[in-house]
Amino acid sequence: MSSNEARRSRLIPCVCIDLVFNGWDTIKAIDAVAAAGISAIEFWGWRGRDIDALAERARHHHLQIAAMSLDPAIRLLDGDAVAQFLESISESLTVARQIGCRRLVVHVQPVPMGSGPRRFPDPAQDSVLRTQRRNIAAALKKAAPLAEASGVVLMLEPLNTLVDHRGYCLSCSGDGAEVLREVDSTAVKLLFDVYHMQISEGNLINSITANADLLAHLHIADVPGRHEPGTGEINFLNVLTAARSAGYDGCVGMELIPTGDPLAAIRSTARMIELANGGSAESARS
């Protein structure tokens, strides 16, 4: 690695324990991440789980808790639930501070499940979508100072509607970016989920590069199937190298369903991320 290379940004492999280790005991999942030599974890909702035991186990292994989800998600589309949203934000920020988590994933409505039509902006629906996005931006603007005071970044995550989240109102990275430019806060950024955006819009490298200033986190899984990189159609090495070249310096969260042994899936994915960092396959194995 040249000294020039060493000064460049660095991608940090991270594992979403809830999806990768679906059905596992949380503590055993955290132990498995540490055994794979990976230094960051993330998870979904915090409510109803033993958050202190989770944090204690992460500390034991010196693992960073990179992100968790706002819990509960509140429907922000109609502009009538801002008080509930701020309550959910402050409650989740308290938990984030308690466990040393610096990022909260924010969905703008309870996440619907199931396949459905694409939801590209449609002229007939244009004014409805504009109003919804204005309402989302207004709610996030009110939440921004709370996040800032806690040293936590709120991350807006667009999701695909075609395969997984029928009818979710933010399905493209550009929609998310438009809302975030309106919010205009360093405490409210974009979570670019490469799996979701490949299904929604493709054009991954252009979209990541165009919004590099807004990126706070990446999620990865291949398409189709949401499995580990190498099982589908995405060239992750090129996508991640481009993200890094565009200045992205942060976690790459494996939010994926392993085709087989989860440990093998996270190890091979971590090696690919190391290659995108400019390491050799050999050094990535050590």
Near Mn ion by CB under 5 A: residue from 42, 175, 228, 255? 255
Question: Considering beta carbons, is residue 64 or 84 the nearer one to Mn ion?
Answer: 64
Closest distance of CB 219 from Mn ion, Å: 4
Cβ-based nearer residue to Mn ion, 193 or 274? 193
Q: Which two three-digit tokens encode residue 276?
A: 């995108």
* Residue 155 or 212 with smaller CB distance to Mn ion: 155
Which of these segments, 3-11, 60-68, 214-222, 261-269, binds Mn ion (CB under 5 A)?
Answer: 214-222
Under the criterion CB under 5 A, does residue 219 sit at the interface with Mn ion? yes
Q: Is residue 193 close enough to count as binding Mn ion by CB under 5 A?
A: yes
Q: Does residue 103 interact with Mn ion by CB under 5 A? A: no
Q: How far is the CB of 168 from Mn ion (least distance, A)?
A: 12
Query: How many chain residues bind Mn ion (CB under 5 A)?
Result: 3
Binding region for Mn ion (CB under 5 A) out of 59-67, 72-80, 137-145, 212-220: 212-220
CB of 225 to Mn ion, least distance (A): 15
Q: Is 222 in the site for Mn ion (CB under 5 A)?
A: no
27/203 with CB nearer Mn ion: 203
CB of residue 216 to Mn ion, shortest distance in Å: 12
Chain residues binding Mn ion by CB under 5 A are 193, 219, 255
